[in-house]
A and B are shown apart, each in its own frame.
Chain A
Amino acid sequence: MPPLARRLTRRLALTLFVLWGAATFAFAGMRLVPGDPARVIAGGVQANATPQVLDAIRAEYGLREPIVVQYALFLGRLLRADLGGSYQLGRPVSQVIGEQIGATLALAAGAAALGFGLAVALATLTAGRPRLRALSRAAEFCSISTPNFWIGILLLAAFSFHLGWFPVIGDDGPAELVLPCAALALPIAGVLAQVTREGLERALDQPFALTARARGATEHRIRVRHALRHAALPVLTLSGWVLGELLAGTVVVETVFARQGLGHVVVAAVRGRDFPVVTGVVVLSALTFSLINIVVDLLYGLADPRIGAAA
């Protein structure tokens, strides 16, 4: 098998393992809550489920069978990509998630692009230039140490209420996406800019940078064509962390900007103890994490040919 295919196979197997782990934890979590499991699935005591509903749940989840059979049933449904139904909302979980995932994806992808772009631009402009670097660092530390929601509130105050450039709330156009993306992206950009700049400065100190200068290359060319690729490796390593930040941040940002989205769904589901929805989101997050990691793994090989040869 060629090395790339072998590596992909290994990563996919690992992905399945991670998904299985996430599902098992969700299953265990559901059973560890004290009380009648059927009532837990229905949403706890306050959900006031009728005996008919509880019976339906017991039948669906096989709650009258031994726990091993329940576990097998649970995994079997997941394998068929059946996330079950939310008894509180009275709809299939996949439908609930499907409706909301678009808005969240747009927010997360926009924030990731903005965060990476801002970080690379800042780092490229300020690496090895003490005065600019000091300015940039101050701004980065501010954005790292300020929570998303506060950045969101400040952005709203400045650009929506005061300047009126962007709508205050809503989620039906690119203009509405700008402020939430910025609120989510700024702390990420702060961290990534520091890591990128350090990588750039290390690369610019290497003999190959001197060689490129001795060829007559411009400073800009040396930074963009040579050094940036060296700085990409530590940044790629951080992309798992970035994804985590995005997942956690969307919940907060969607609340501040009163946007539709998965974050909203999760908050409602956790508060209402809607276990089927929570389980669905957990499994989906694990899947996203694993897939992003596969992509990052492939990007490593692209960024550094030596890694591809070693694996």
Chain B
Amino acid sequence: MSGDHPSAPLLEVAGLSVGFATRRGVVPAVRDVDLSLRAGECLAVVGESGSGKSVTARALLGLAGAGARVTARTLTFEGRDLRTLGGGQWRRLRGRRIGYVLQDALTSLDPLRRVGLEVAEALEVHGLARRDDLDDQVIRLLAEAGVPDPHVRFLQYPHELSGGLRQRALIASAIAAEPALLIADEPTTALDVTVQAQVLGLLEERRRRGTALLLISHDLAVVARLAGQIAVLFAGLVVERGPAAALLASPAHPYTADLLAAVPVLDGPDNPGGGPVRGLPIVRTGPAAATGCPYAPRCALADDRCRSEPPPPVSYGEDGQDGQDRMVRCFHPGRARPATASRAPAAPARVTDHAVVSVRGVTKRYRSPDGSWRTAVGDVSFDLRAGEALGLVGESGSGKSTTARIVLAEIVPDAGTVLLDGEPWSGLRERDRRPRRSRIQLVDQDPLSSFDPRFTVERVVGEAVPGRMPRRRRRERVAALLGRVGLDPALLDRVPARLSGGQRQRVAIARALAPGPEVIVCDEPVSALDVTVQAQILALLAELRREAGVALLFISHDLGVVRQVCDRVAVMKDGRLVETGAVADVFRAPRAAYTAELLAAVPRIDAGRTAGALPHAALNLEAP
């Protein structure tokens, strides 16, 4: 398909470097990045947090930030040299020719302004609308972005809209002035799978109508559906670039292979033991190297040469593939094997028939602001057996977190009971419940934000260690717990703010393990993490379950994640359970229509993208 665009590229970037001036000199964030994008094409930039992908996007808008040093050999857009633009020229470009969609529309739309005003701003600043038909234009744009009832929505505030509608409104504001290039930075992070699929569809629609799309994500599965080209960014370097289909089918750089392995999959071999479906991938994370190949510290293939000299960009694969070349910065291209392939399926955990938690006909209703009653959880019943991992799946608002809080006895249900170990739990007074509180623990999305930021890791975890003991012994216990979750005891004296997202989640798990619980409730424990870190945390949870025999109530909107960790799954919709069953059965043959809908919406990397795949991607694959 790319052959159909003989015109010059819309965006041409060569040797783009961005550094930030600090007291210790200029710290490079992006190094020597080459990109090229034509009208109607989609280029995906993929990498983990801190890889420089957002900085790259902002540099293209002249918004790299105060103290940023942007240099490039070539930086042209629509034939204009962006390096020479002044402030006013940049402003005429922004929004008008280049649209920008940020992640998390709750904070990316001004919370104090009506949604319609935000969309109108793009038209106003570029003088594209007369006062008297501004409202009509905004309503038309919102409708185009798939916002239902736009004439109502445009008068509402962002907090009154759902996450999906907010993201659509944000996209409407970015495309209002019909820019030739749309940059979308993690446009679907924090959205449910079904909404994610809709938003991606909307972006795809723009691309089909001729807008060039620069898509930024940490998740290869998300971009796989849209991207014609993929550039993989690590430590500010493009380590691999090429046509999406070829790159996904046969990753050349070890980092690309690791990223692919970290994506939870919905299909693939089942584990006959009924436990987690397959051996979880072993993905190493860690800081980039300062000399040589930046990925060397995390790479299984790294040798002395990798550690001493930086690999230059080389072309990879057969020549003449539609004229689309693949580039990789590696001395051992195409030799990486994801670590999971060689790993044997994990032994199943010991699950007994004894129910540690029994939820019986639990109902919880809330009063809406307009006075009507809304059922958050309606007549939900399930058992969590000892040593079992039960997944609770549903979209936001389905009542899964309310159910979790009822199980934790933080919320008292209006009807129904929860039994812990066959004894009453939900109906007790808190004073009677307290002695058994330690048997059920919680790990949530960002658990450390609920602690005093000045508490050290030792104190955060040490608090949860039961019993009185001298400080030295407590410290030893905490160090042992950190060891169990794969953390260096040297972190004992760190404060949470100085830990990475993955490390924080490990600390939270160590804290949950401290009192030796029978049940850990995990509420979206990996939703805020990059795929590579997510894979590690999931592996840790699965391992702890086998070793400690802890039962997991695992709440997630991500079906792929649930499939990796859980034995059984319960699907919730509008406060009710629509389906319960073994993970293998539910995923292979869902009985409820809603489950099938959820499964269909999960982004997946399909090496033979055929049915329903994008035409140009299929073409690329057939070419060799």
* Interface of A toward B, CB cutoff 8 Å: 3, 206-208, 210-218, 221, 225-226, 229-230, 303-306, 309
Contact = CB atoms under 8 A, between A and B. Distances in A.
B92 interface: yes
29 contacts: A207-B102, A208-B108, A208-B110, A208-B111, A210-B102, A211-B100, A211-B102, A211-B108, A211-B170, A212-B110, A213-B61, A213-B94, A214-B61, A215-B94, A215-B95, A215-B100, A215-B121, A215-B122, A215-B125, A216-B122, A216-B125, A217-B91, A218-B125, A221-B125, A229-B112, A229-B113, A303-B112, A305-B157, A306-B159
A206 B94 contact: no
Interface string B85-105: 000000111111011101010
Contacts of B83: none
Given A210-B63, A309-B369, A216 B112 contact: no
A230 B113 CA distance: 10
Contacts of B369: 3, 309
A304 B110 CA distance: 11
B170 to A, nearest CB: 7
Given A306-B159, A309-B159, A214 B111 contact: no
B99 to A, nearest CB: 8
Contacts of A213: 61, 63, 94
Interface of B: 58, 61, 63, 91-96, 98-100, 102, 104, 107-113, 118, 121-122, 125-126, 157, 159-160, 170, 173-174, 177, 369
Choose among A213, A215, A218, A226 the residue with the greatest number of B CB atoms under 10 Å from its CB.
A215
Contacts of B113: 225-226, 229
A133 to B, nearest CB: 13
A280 B12 CA distance: 76
A213 B57 CA distance: 14
Nearest to A209: B110
Instruction: Pick the 6 closest A-B CB pairs, nearest first.
Output: A214-B100, A216-B95, A215-B95, A216-B94, A208-B110, A207-B108
Main secondary structure of the interface of B (DSSP, over half): mixed
Nearest to B369: A309
Nearest to B111: A306
Nearest to A226: B110
A216 B159 contact: no
A304 B112 CA distance: 6
Contacts of A214: 61, 63, 94-95, 98-100, 102, 174
Contacts of B98: 214
Main secondary structure of the interface of A (DSSP, over half): helix
B447 to A, nearest CB: 24
Nearest to B90: A216
B61 A211 contact: no
A211 B109 contact: yes
Contacts of A212: 110, 121
A221 B125 CA distance: 9
Choose among B92, B111, B369 the residue with the greatest number of A CB atoms under 10 Å from its CB.
B111
A206 B112 contact: no
Contacts of A207: 102, 104, 107-108
A213 B159 CA distance: 21
A58 to B, nearest CB: 56
A211 B117 CA distance: 13
A217 B117 CA distance: 13
A206 B107 contact: yes
B109 to A, nearest CB: 6
A3 B368 CA distance: 13
A216 B110 contact: no
Given A208-B111, A211-B109, 5 more contacts: A206-B107, A210-B58, A218-B125, A221-B125, A230-B112
Contacts of A306: 111, 157, 159
Contact of B126 (A208, A210, A216): A216
Contacts of B110: 208, 211-212, 226
A306 B112 CA distance: 8
Given A207-B102, A306-B157, A216 B107 contact: no
Contacts of A225: 113, 121
A209 to B, nearest CB: 8
A216 B110 CA distance: 15
A238 B125 CA distance: 34
B571 to A, nearest CB: 31
A210 B96 CA distance: 15
A232 B557 CA distance: 37
A3 B369 CA distance: 9
A217 B125 contact: yes
Nearest to A232: B112
Choose among A208, A217, A221, A230 the residue with the greatest number of B CB atoms under 10 Å from its CB.
A208
A3 B370 CA distance: 10
A54 B209 CA distance: 94
Contacts of B118: 211
Choose among B94, B110, B121 the residue with the greatest number of A CB atoms under 10 Å from its CB.
B110
B54 to A, nearest CB: 10
Given A214-B94, A214-B95, A216-B96, A208 B125 contact: no
A213 to B, nearest CB: 6
Choose among B92, B102, B104 the residue with the greatest number of A CB atoms under 10 Å from its CB.
B102
Contacts of A303: 112
Contacts of A221: 125
Nearest to B113: A226
A211 B110 CA distance: 9
B176 to A, nearest CB: 8
A208 B109 CA distance: 5
Contacts of A3: 369
A216 B91 contact: yes
A299 B108 CA distance: 24
Contacts of B96: 216
A275 to B, nearest CB: 48
B107 A208 contact: yes
B441 to A, nearest CB: 31
A226 B100 CA distance: 18
A206 B105 CA distance: 12
A138 B29 CA distance: 36
Nearest to A308: B157
Given A215-B125, A217-B125, A305 B100 contact: no
Contacts of A210: 58, 63, 102, 108
A84 B112 CA distance: 48
A215 B112 contact: no
A85 B523 CA distance: 69
A305 B104 CA distance: 20
B64 to A, nearest CB: 11
A216 B63 contact: no
B26 to A, nearest CB: 19
Contacts of B108: 207-208, 210-211
Contacts of B177: 216
